[in-house]
Structure 1
Amino acid sequence: MMERSGKILCGLQNQYYRATYKSMGFTTEDLKRPMIGIANAWSECVPGHFNLRQVAQRVKDGIYRAGGTPVEFGVIGGCDGMGQGHDGMHYILPSREIIANSIESMAQINLFDGIVLLGSCDKIVPGMLMAAARLDIPCILLPGGPMEGGIEFDGRKSDQTSSTEAYGMLSANKITEKEYTSLENLACPTCGSCAYLGTANTMCSLSEALGMTLPDGGIIPAASAARLAVAEDTGIKIVELVEKNITARQIITKESMRNAIKICLAMSGSTNAVMHLTAIAHEAELDMNVLEEFDQLSGVTPQLAKINPASEYNMVDFYRAGGVSRLLEEMQPIICADEMTVTAHTVLDNIKNHIYQYPEDCRVIKTMADPFGYQGGVAVLRGNLAPDSGITKPGAFDESLHHFTGEAICFDSEEAAEEAILKGVIRDGHVVVIRYEGPKGGPGMREMYKAMKYLYGRGLSKTTALITDGRFSGTNNGCFVGHISPEAAEGGAIAIIKDGDRIEIDVEKRSINLLVSSEEIENRLKEWKRPEPKFKRGYLGLYCKIAASGSEGAILQYDKL
């Protein structure tokens, strides 16, 4: 009998618990084995989770095969895409904490010996990894895999975001209504996490790099038979981890976190990864500044992979080119290969034993000797507009935009900015400022996904910039800076920008500045008044009171209560 589950399933005094399990069909022999929880975020709300029923069954098969007993329970999971552009997006980032808290609660209520975490999407994957780090029991994360790309549109295989870009093109009379509507049935041919390198696939890839997902387990396509095979392998491995007592914090370490950061930089992953890795490190009590690690490592980590939105190639192309395993192999000189992983072997062992199913493709993944660029694809900027930090993704936009100076045009909400863009108010040279969208001010740090896509669709992606204390989707490209901290609702300088002010963004110098005098900034801040919270009841009423800034991972600060 295992140490955790044995506390409630072993001995005459614990008949109550055994009887409760037996009411659901578990047998005496079942209750003598390691009890493995399966935290399943399956739903019909999220395409990245739609196949997790089938995946869960194969995980159960593997657990049974290895001598364990699976016990499945549900976890919420919201789709960022479904929350875009309306009040639902306020709940997306806060749902990460609900996910972590609910898994922690179920693991402790039932004293599971280990957990398999099934989730694929933007806040679900980090929330699950946060729970694993907090619990420090044997855990494996298994995503459902990315979807296939759709019909070709605008020079690449389409996906959901193509529809948003196309709407901008339609509003500018660049395409016909027939061309626009054709995408509805053809952009998303299968279920799975989005076909591009958004936050979902970034975090699935980084879970592999952390060692918390079996090799290729983060990026095997959702509709592939290999997805079900890796599910069974995951079930087998979680029992082995329990037997060997290999827990999450033996895998999530400072060095494995640095490995994940380097992979994120090498593949130009989503800017949201900075915030999520910060939160995971906090839960693992690693005592490291993830933001500073990104800042330092971005200058010495080459960009080896280019995936949509940085190129026309999608996640399935990345998987076939070798994926995270290929990057880890290529980056051996600069990663820590001695770190333990959920295979119960080290990163180096995994590299040596990996079998690639497809040939190399240097269009998607290059070598250390011939990289796409000699610096990472994510950068941390600072200046009088963002003294704590702002995050951008130079790996996903043209080098001509790495130094951009323009005229501010300010909006106090996402919706106001989007309306202005579609009406043609934004013109070449503008720096669109969207504020009061941070963790507290939003609340929930909404994504400015639609605004950037509309700028792209209207042909303004190379002649304008956008800055915000909110976030961006991993699929966004163009000159953008998000996560600006302190946020407007906390009295950050972004709150006092006026229309017509000049703003300078310099990626090479890692700077973002409001080009007015420090005396003028100080005077404006003295006149600024803190706005009333947008939500005063329910979960968001609590969240906006205790959420930390984006630079601190937007974690909940319970000591603020």
Structure 2
Amino acid sequence: MTDHVKTPDTLRSSRWFAPDDLRSFGHRSRMMQLGYAEEEFRGKPIIGVLNTWSELNTCHGHFPERVKDVKRGVLAAGGLPVEMPSLSVDESFTKPTSMLYRNMLAMETEEMIRSHPLDGVVLMGGCDKTTPGLVMGAITAGVPMIYLPAGPMLRGHYKGRILGSGSDGWKYWDERRAGNVTDEDWIGIQGGIARSVGTCMTMGTASTMTAITDALGLTLPGASSIPAADSEHQRMGSGCGRRIVDMVWEDLTPDRIITDASIRNAAIVAMATGCSTNAVVHLIAMARRAGVALTLDDLDALGRVTPLIANVRPSGKDYLMEDFFYAGGLRALMKQLEDRLDTSAITVTGKTVAENLKGAEVYNDDVIRPLTNPVYHEGSLALLRGNLCPDGAVIKPAACDPKFHVHEGPALVFDSYPEMKAAVDDENLEVTPDTVMVLRNAGPQGGPGMPEWGMLPIPKALIKQGHRDMLRISDARMSGTSYGACVLHVAPESFTGGPLALLKTGDRVRMDLPNRRLDMLVGEDEIARRKAAWVAPPPRFERGWGYMFSRHVTQADKGCDFDYLERGFGAVAGEPDIF
């Protein structure tokens, strides 16, 4: 353990428990009411274990057991663990979208840490929005933190086929709509595609965000790759508990770890993994909380020079996260990228990235490819700009048919998800493979919350003809397990009067991916006329959380954080006075 910087009397928790005054008498007496003797909590690091478990969060089904492992580690290192239930923000059941509540978790995390006698925190998350929500709040709170990723579930199986959660669900749903999947097989796939605790085992948003957090240096090295059901995951949990106690004594705070260099490292690693398009929104939000001015253009520039080397679905063709772990995991992938990373960056271990990567190696070079044999020559994501998306839009080139990389066709525009859903199931819908499907009013304010509607279903008329991809555009997001020629996160969104609101069915739309352009082929005068005639829709909310969300959420290119929570809006509130 590194020499102590903190001493028992300078611990943050000592402000609650050490003084000989009435207020601290009350704090001590309430701890004794909980059954603790004074020597168990005075002068020891008190570690908050922020647990995003719930009985409806399938990804976190193992957290009631894992929290015991964390506590065991904290106690072994001489700290006192206190579990604090946090907003679960589950992905599978939350309507209209868990993204609506990411910022709520971030605010809760920040305020729970600030207002309680915690010297450090273990953040337990993994399901898509829990990772950025927890990290964003903990960055602002500023106490030592370590992230415990939930880990991916085991591979899915049905009739000898390996199934990937999300990705194969979309795939077989299209086949079912085409009449190629029986009721019996559909039920079998349903029961075989998610067969253990843990997050999606494709490189979806959950695995993307835990890999980003790992690359940022906020987890134990390689922790993001460990399957949830593996016993190594239990040992990693207790390791997080032991390490956070040392981090408190070392005063190893987030600002020493999350820097321009570590953010850039995380972006490079994300591109090389075939990351979810959601990485853009979350990484920008996390960076802005830390005062790092990461932009869409920065991510696109890194994407152009970072090859995709993780052969994991959906951007890869063959493998899942369990295979990635057996092939060496994130440490092995980062070892391949070592010359491109700033390996002097400090991590939660107190060591540099270079030190953490010593001994890492690839055990299967088809799963984790060498840079000389990538899955795709560029990274996972690309940024588009044009008169349809002046503030940017995002696409995942490796996960769509290359024939759509340069494409022009007539727009088919839908103003709502129900309208679109009804149309695509109409076998008489007038649509061709060249048609560009457009969904609007699905952004941060319009969705509301920017739901994962961006992988618009292929119309049944085209499915029956054998087509499985077409160009689709929206201001929505899509699941990280999704794929196809889907342009997402169009900014500014249509609900606020962005150019997508002005597009009409029949207008020609052109995407030029090599030149990063997305345009409607409509004259400037006509666009101006339509803009003058545009009428804003009524607000989605008139009260409550949604009201606050709608008035303060930023656009996708800024990370969809609340404007008043970003670094630079104003001074961060200090710790509450203790009277």
Give TM class, smaller chain. Answer: over 0.9
Contact 2:148 2:223 (C-alpha < 8 Å) held by counterparts: yes
Per-residue deviation, 1:394: 0.8
Partner of 2:305: 300
Deviation sequence 1:279-309 (CA, Å, 0-9, x none): 11111122x1332210211111111112111
Alpha-carbon distance between aligned partners in 2 of 1:125 and 1:485, rounded to the nearest angstrom: 24
- The aligned amino acid for 1:301 is T
Partner of 1:78: 89
1:531 aligns with 2:534: no
Partner of 1:257: 263
Partner of 1:203: 209
Work out which of the residue numbers 51, 56, 59 in structure 1 matches 2:62.
51
Contact 2:167 2:314 (C-alpha < 8 Å) held by counterparts: no
Per-residue deviation, 1:273: 0.7
Alpha-carbon distance between aligned partners in 2 of 1:197 and 1:303, rounded to the nearest angstrom: 12
What TM-score, normalized to structure 1?
A: 0.94
Q: Evaluate the alpha carbon distance shift between residue 154 and residue 277 of structure 1 in structure 2; reply closer, same or farther with a 3 A threshold.
A: farther
What SS does structure 1 have at the residue aligned with 2:379?
A: coil
Deviation sequence 1:1-45 (CA, Å, 0-9, x none): 242101011132212111111211222122121000000001111
Partner of 1:183: 189
Alpha-carbon distance between aligned partners in 2 of 1:80 and 1:259, rounded to the nearest angstrom: 27
Matches within 5 A, 1:6-45: 6-13=14-21, 14-32=24-42, 33-45=44-56
Alpha-carbon distance between aligned partners in 2 of 1:328 and 1:108, rounded to the nearest angstrom: 34
Alpha-carbon distance between aligned partners in 2 of 1:457 and 1:283, rounded to the nearest angstrom: 44
- The aligned amino acid for 2:448 is P
Work out which of the residue numbers 406, 410, 431 in structure 1 matches 2:409.
406
Deviation sequence 1:92-135 (CA, Å, 0-9, x none): 11211111111111111113110000011111100011012111
Partner of 1:93: 99
Contact 1:427 1:460 (C-alpha < 8 Å) held by counterparts: no
Deviates more, 1:212-221 or 1:155-164: 155-164
Q: Evaluate the alpha carbon distance shift between residue 316 and residue 124 of structure 1 in structure 2; reply closer, same or farther with a 3 A threshold.
A: same
- The aligned amino acid for 1:26 is Y
- The aligned amino acid for 2:425 is L
Kindly, what percent of the aligned residue pairs are identical?
32
Q: Evaluate the alpha carbon distance shift between residue 458 and residue 386 of structure 1 in structure 2; reply closer, same or farther with a 3 A threshold.
A: farther
Partner of 2:426: 423
Contact 2:158 2:189 (C-alpha < 8 Å) held by counterparts: no
1:269 aligns with 2:280: no
Per-residue deviation, 1:453: 7.6
Alpha-carbon distance between aligned partners in 2 of 1:10 and 1:52, rounded to the nearest angstrom: 33
Deviates more, 1:515-524 or 1:432-441: 515-524
Q: Evaluate the alpha carbon distance shift between residue 247 and residue 458 of structure 1 in structure 2; reply closer, same or farther with a 3 A threshold.
A: farther
- The aligned amino acid for 2:33 is S
Contact 1:461 1:478 (C-alpha < 8 Å) held by counterparts: no
Contact 1:387 1:486 (C-alpha < 8 Å) held by counterparts: yes
- The aligned amino acid for 1:422 is D
1:390 aligns with 2:396: no
Contact 2:424 2:457 (C-alpha < 8 Å) held by counterparts: no
Q: Evaluate the alpha carbon distance shift between residue 453 and residue 498 of structure 1 in structure 2; reply closer, same or farther with a 3 A threshold.
A: closer
Per-residue deviation, 1:463: 4.3
Work out which of the residue numbers 142, 145, 155 in structure 2 matches 1:136.
142
Per-residue deviation, 1:422: 2.5
Partner of 2:133: 127
Alpha-carbon distance between aligned partners in 2 of 1:251 and 1:487, rounded to the nearest angstrom: 34
Deviates more, 1:168-177 or 1:70-79: 168-177
Work out which of the residue numbers 440, 448, 451 in structure 2 matches 1:435.
440
- The aligned amino acid for 2:189 is L
Matches within 5 A, 1:162-173: 162-173=168-179
1:111 aligns with 2:149: no
What SS does structure 2 have at the residue aligned with 1:72?
A: strand
What SS does structure 1 have at the residue aligned with 2:108?
A: helix
Alpha-carbon distance between aligned partners in 1 of 2:161 and 2:302, rounded to the nearest angstrom: 32
Partner of 1:451: 456
Per-residue deviation, 1:171: 2.3
Contact 1:169 1:458 (C-alpha < 8 Å) held by counterparts: no
Unaligned runs of 5+ in 1: none
Q: Evaluate the alpha carbon distance shift between residue 244 and residue 183 of structure 1 in structure 2; reply closer, same or farther with a 3 A threshold.
A: same
Per-residue deviation, 1:167: 3.0
Partner of 1:63: 74
Contact 1:165 1:454 (C-alpha < 8 Å) held by counterparts: no
What SS does structure 1 have at the residue aligned with 2:246?
A: helix
What SS does structure 2 have at the residue aligned with 1:12?
A: coil
Contact 1:198 1:474 (C-alpha < 8 Å) held by counterparts: yes
What SS does structure 2 have at the residue aligned with 1:380?
A: strand
Matches within 5 A, 1:314-353: 314-353=320-359
Alpha-carbon distance between aligned partners in 2 of 1:292 and 1:464, rounded to the nearest angstrom: 26
Q: Evaluate the alpha carbon distance shift between residue 10 and residue 37 of structure 1 in structure 2; reply closer, same or farther with a 3 A threshold.
A: same
Deviates more, 1:360-369 or 1:253-262: 360-369
- The aligned amino acid for 2:354 is L
Q: Evaluate the alpha carbon distance shift between residue 463 and residue 363 of structure 1 in structure 2; reply closer, same or farther with a 3 A threshold.
A: same
Deviates more, 1:307-316 or 1:32-41: 307-316
Alpha-carbon distance between aligned partners in 1 of 2:99 and 2:548, rounded to the nearest angstrom: 14
Alpha-carbon distance between aligned partners in 2 of 1:458 and 1:163, rounded to the nearest angstrom: 18
Alpha-carbon distance between aligned partners in 1 of 2:233 and 2:252, rounded to the nearest angstrom: 24
Contact 1:164 1:454 (C-alpha < 8 Å) held by counterparts: no
Partner of 1:223: 229
Contact 1:202 1:270 (C-alpha < 8 Å) held by counterparts: yes
What SS does structure 1 have at the residue aligned with 2:223?
A: coil
Unaligned runs of 5+ in 2: 1-7, 570-579
Deviates more, 1:289-298 or 1:232-241: 289-298
1:245 aligns with 2:251: yes
Per-residue deviation, 1:89: 2.0
1:379 aligns with 2:382: yes
Alpha-carbon distance between aligned partners in 1 of 2:545 and 2:416, rounded to the nearest angstrom: 21
Q: Evaluate the alpha carbon distance shift between residue 154 and residue 260 of structure 1 in structure 2; reply closer, same or farther with a 3 A threshold.
A: farther
Contact 1:453 1:476 (C-alpha < 8 Å) held by counterparts: no
What TM-score, normalized to structure 2?
A: 0.91
Q: Evaluate the alpha carbon distance shift between residue 457 and residue 129 of structure 1 in structure 2; reply closer, same or farther with a 3 A threshold.
A: farther
